Amino acid sequence: MINLYELHARELAKMPDNWVMRQWKTMGQDYGIILVIGICAPRFVRGKRKGHINFKKGDKTTEREIYYTKQEHDQWVTDWEFKTGLCSKCTGSGKVFSSWNIETGTKWKPCTACKETGKAQ
Ligand SMILES: [Zn+2]
């Protein structure tokens, strides 16, 4: 799944595709400001955690704290939908997160915003 908070912050930070979100939070009055902390980090290439991000090997010189307001993010998402033609709720997959359980893993449900088409409306 594409993380639009991460993508937005990466664009503002002018960082490459391996710049990933390490932490994020909302802050300020009415939680209207979003802070994303990201870093360029490799992924595990083998073992149990293969494909997961290896933050321990992150490049400290690329660590950035990026702030934007919720309003700016909403505008950015609208532009992203226009640019990609994809639904921002499910980032084009047609499915959204439903629940997570330790035994059954992640469950998905159909995206109602695009009626499972994955296309921007
Ligand atoms: Zn959708």
Which tens digits make up the pLDDT trace of 36-49?
Answer: 999 999 999 999 99
Instruction: Return the C-alpha torsion angle 56, 4, 91, 107, nearest 10.
Output: 50
Predicted structure pTM score: 0.87
Q: How far is the CA of 79 from the centre of ligand 1 (A)?
A: 16
d(CA 82, CA 86): 8
Q: Which two tokens stand for residue 47?
A: 């073992």
Q: How far is the CA of 104 from the centre of ligand 1 (A)?
A: 23
Q: Please report which confidence band the pLDDT of residue 121 belongs to, taking 50, 70 and 90 as the band edges.
A: confident
For 92, phi and psi rounded to 5 degrees? 90, -5
Q: How far is the CA of 64 from the centre of ligand 1 (A)?
A: 30
Q: How far is the CA of 81 from the centre of ligand 1 (A)?
A: 11
Instruction: Classify residue 51 as left (phi > 0), alpha (psi -120 to 50) or beta.
Output: left
State the DSSP code for 50. T
